[in-house]
Amino acid sequence: MKQQLHGRTTFNFLASLWIAAAFLPALAQPPKGPWMDKTLPPDRRAELLLEQMSLDEKMTMVHGEAGAGSAGRSLGGAGYVAGIPRLGIPDIQMTDGRSGVANAGGRGRYATALPSALACAASWDPKVAYEFGALIGKETRDLGFHVSLGGTANLIREPRNGRNFECFGEDPILIGKMLGRALKGTQDQGVIGNINRYAVNDQETGRRVGNAVLDRRAMRESDLLAFEVAIRESGVGTVMCAYNKVNSEYACDSSYLLTDVLKKAWGYQGWVMPDWGAAHSTVKAALAGMDQEMPTGEHFGGALKAAVLKGEVPMARLDDMVRRILRTEIALGILDNPISVRPVNPFTGAETAQRIAEQSMVLLKNANQLLPLGASGVKSIAVIGSHADVGVLSGAGSDQVDAAGGNTVPGGRAVWHPSSPLKAIRAKAPQSRVEFDPGVDLDAAAKLAAASEVAIVFVNQFNAEGRDVPSLSLPDNQDELVRRVAAANRRVIVVLETGGPVKMPWLGGAGAVLAAWYPGIRGGEAIANILFGEVNPSAKLPVTFPNSEADLPHPKMYAPAGFTVGEFTTIAGQLPAFDINYTEGARVGYKWFDAEKKEPLFAFGFGLSYTAYSYSGLQTAAGRRPVVSFRVTNTGKRAGAETAQVYVSLPAASGERFKRLAAWEKVPLGPGETKTVRLELDPQFLSIFNTEKDAWDLLPGEYQVHVGGSSRWTPLSRSMRLPGAQ
C-alpha cells in the first residue's frame, strides 16, 4: 500500500528530505580527471573512467541497493545505485513511469498523470508520442531521477493481459515507431530511458513461472521486431529483461536474447537490467549478457565478485558491464549535468495531458450523427455510471501515477483522477439539465435515461499489473446497465474507460461509442470536448477488438494448474511452471483475423471522425526503398486528420496469409482539401526472417499494396514486383 500523507508539515518534511538527498552528491567538488573532458567521445571517456576503478568500485555499479541505499541518499524510487564520488560518478536514482512519474505522491511530490501508453498509441501520431515522452522525461528529471523505467514494447498478443494499458498496441511497426519517439522525447530531457519487458512477456498470470514458446522466425518478425525498431529509433539507454522464460530459458539468462540478438545483431550499446526480482543466476546471467541486477545485489553482489575472482566470469565481462553503464551515463549527460530538483506542478502538465487525450480517443460508432452534441440543442442529459461524477479511472501497479488532489473513489485498488466528466459536460451545456446516476440501481438508471433527451453511459474495466482480467466482458453487471439504458433511451452514448479491448453485446442498441482508454489528469475535460465537437476525433485503434474470446488464437488463457485467471499473481514458489504456447506465431491481432478470415468487432486501425475521407490515385515505385503515393481528400464540411495506412501482402513464398502494416501518415485536412501522401517503405518491414541465414530476406515476387483508413478498409490496391534482396 502506498503511504498516505497527512498535513502540510508531513509534506514539507518529506519534500525537504527529497531535495536534500537529491543535492547531496552534487555538493562535492567534481574531479578533474581526463574522463571529464567533454570533447572526448563517450566510449573513450568510459574507458578512461574504467581504468581508474577498483574491483569493489566496479561491483558497486552492477547492482542496486535496497532501502535507503548508501548513506541514506536514495530518493525512495523504484531503484537506487550508489555512485562513486571520487570519480564524479553520481548516484543513479530510478523511477517507474509509462504514463507519468509513478508512485511519487507517497514520497511527498506529484507528477502529471498522462493518458495510458495504449491511448498514446491510438493517436498514431509520432509527434504526440514525442510530446508524451518528453513530459515524462522533464518531470522525471525535475523530481531528481536519472532513469525512467518506462516504455513497454511487448505486443498485445493476449487481449486479457492486465498490463495492456502500458503497451503500444499489437503491431510491431506501430509499437516500434511510436514507442521509439516517446523514448527519444524522454532522453532528450537528459534522462536515461528504459524499454521493457524483453521479451514475449504478454500475460501477468504466472508471469514468473510461465514459459513463452515461440519459434525464432515468428519471434523476430513480431515480438522482437517491436523492440528492435523502438531501440533503433530512440537510442534508449537501458533494456529490462523480463520475468518469464522464453523457449525454456529465463529471459535474463538467455544469451540468444541478450547477446546474440540485442547486443550483436542490433548493435545495442546500453546496459541490460532485469525486471525487479527477475534475476535467477550469477554466472549464467553474467555470461548471457545481463549487466546490472536490480533492485539489490543478491546475484551480482558478493556472488558475482566471487565468480570473477575464481575466473568463472572473466574480468573482461565485468568491465563490459561497467563500461556500458558509464558510456550511457556520459552519452546522456548524467556525468556532466548534475540534476537540480525543481518543483513539479502536475496541473501545468495537465494541458499537455488533455491535448494528448483528445488525440487518443477513438470514436467507434456514431449512428445517425448522434455526435457531436450541440451545446444549446439538448435540453436534458443523463450521465450514468463509472463514478463519472467525480473522476476518471487509471491502471494500477508500477505505472500508477498518483492522483494529484487525491483518489476521488477511495477504498479500493483502483485510483480515479479528480477530473469529473459530469462537471465538464455541465460546463459545455450550461442551459441543459444534466443529472447523474451512479448506475448501481438499474431501474433508477433506466428511469433517468427515459426522462432525458440523451443518455451518456460511462463504463469501465480496471486493469492492473499482477492480474489479468478473467474475460473481455465488462465487470460488475455493466453490460446489463447499458442494455437497460439503451432500452429506455435510443440516444445512448457509451464512453469506455478501459485498458484494452472489451466485448460489446449491447452495441446494436447504442447510438455512439467512444473509447476513452485511461485518459489521465484532464480526462473528463477531454471527453467533453470530443462529445460536444470542440475536438474532431482522429484516433485509430492500435489493437483489434474481437467479438468474443472464441475468435482469439487462445480462447482460454494459459494458466498454471490450480490458478484462477483474474487473481493477483503470487511469488513463483507458490505456482507450478507451465508453457504458454504461441502457436499463432507472427499472426498477432489483425494478422490472425485476416489469416483465419474472422470478422472483428472493430478492426485494427479503425476510427471514425466528424468528417469523412476518400482515397485515390495509388502509385507504386519499386527500388531499394519502394515508394507508395496516393491522394487523401476530406469530403466533409469540417477540418480533421486522417491516419492513412499502408499494408503489404508478401509473395506466396513467404507462407503468410495476411497483410502487414508497412507505413502510415497522419494527414491534417481542411474541408474539401486534398493532399498527396508519399511514403517510403522500409525493406525490413517487407522481409521475412530467414533462420538458416540468421538474417532478413526480401523475397523476389509480387507484393500487393493496400491503402486505406484501417486494416479492414483499404479501398486502394496495387501490385508491385520487387526483385528481392540485392
DSSP string, 175-209: HHHHHHHHHHHHHTTT-B-EEEEETT----TTTTT
Instruction: Tell me how far apart the alpha carbons of residues 331 and 163 are, in angstroms, rounded to a whole number.
Output: 31
3-state secondary structure at position 159: coil
Report pLDDT digits (tens) over 239-293: 999 999 999 999 999 999 999 999 999 999 999 999 999 999 999 999 999 999 9
Instruction: Tell me how far apart the alpha carbons of residues 380 and 193 are, in angstroms, rounded to a whole number.
Output: 48
pLDDT at residue 235, rounded to an integer:
97
pLDDT at residue 176, rounded to an integer:
98
All structural domains of the chain, each given as residue ranges with its CATH number in brackets, are 7-331 (3.20.20.300), 611-722 (2.60.40.10)
pLDDT at residue 109, rounded to an integer:
81
441 belongs to the catalytic site: no
The DSSP secondary structure of 483-505, one letter per residue, reads HHHHHH-S-EEEEEE-SS----T
Instruction: Tell me how far apart the alpha carbons of residues 559 and 249 are, in angstroms, rounded to a whole number.
Output: 18
3-state secondary structure at position 457: strand
Q: Which of 96, 142, 275, 389 is catalytic?
A: 275
Q: Which residues, other chains included, contact 495 with Cβ-Cβ below 8 Å and sequence gap of 6+?
A: 386, 388, 421, 456, 457, 458, 459, 514, 516, 527, 531
End-to-end CA distance of the chain: 58
pLDDT at residue 68, rounded to an integer:
57
pLDDT at residue 433, rounded to an integer:
97
pLDDT at residue 99, rounded to an integer:
94
Beta strands in 565-658 (DSSP E): 578-581, 613-621, 627-634, 640-649
Q: Answer whether the bond into residue 372 is a cis peptide, omega within 30°.
A: yes
3-state secondary structure at position 136: helix
pLDDT at residue 29, rounded to an integer:
66
- Asked whether 396 and 99 are in contact (CB, 8 A), the reply is no
Across the beta sheet with 701-708, what order do the strands follow?
A: 659-669, 640-649, 701-708, 716-722
Instruction: Tell me how far apart the alpha carbons of residues 443 and 447 are, in angstroms, rounded to a whole number.
Output: 6
Q: Provide the pairing of β-strand 194-198 with 79-81.
A: unpaired
Instruction: Read off the C-alpha cell for 51.
Output: 581504468
- Which H helix or E strand runs over 369? none
Using alpha carbons, select from 292, 262, 320 the residue that is nearest to residue 47. Answer: 320
pLDDT at residue 247, rounded to an integer:
98
pLDDT at residue 344, rounded to an integer:
85
Burial class (CB in 10 A: 0-12, 13-18, 19+), 566: middle
**b/e burial code for range 568-592 (CB count within 10 A of at least 16 → b):** ebeebeebeebebebebbbbbbbbb
Which residue blocks in 78-215 are alpha helix, DSSP H?
Answer: 117-122, 126-142, 172-187
The DSSP secondary structure of 274-313, one letter per residue, reads ESTT----SHHHHHHT---B-S--TTTSHHHHHHHHHTSS
pLDDT at residue 191, rounded to an integer:
97
Q: What is the CA radius of gyration of the chain?
A: 26
Residues of the chain with pLDDT under 50: 1-27, 572
pLDDT at residue 294, rounded to an integer:
97
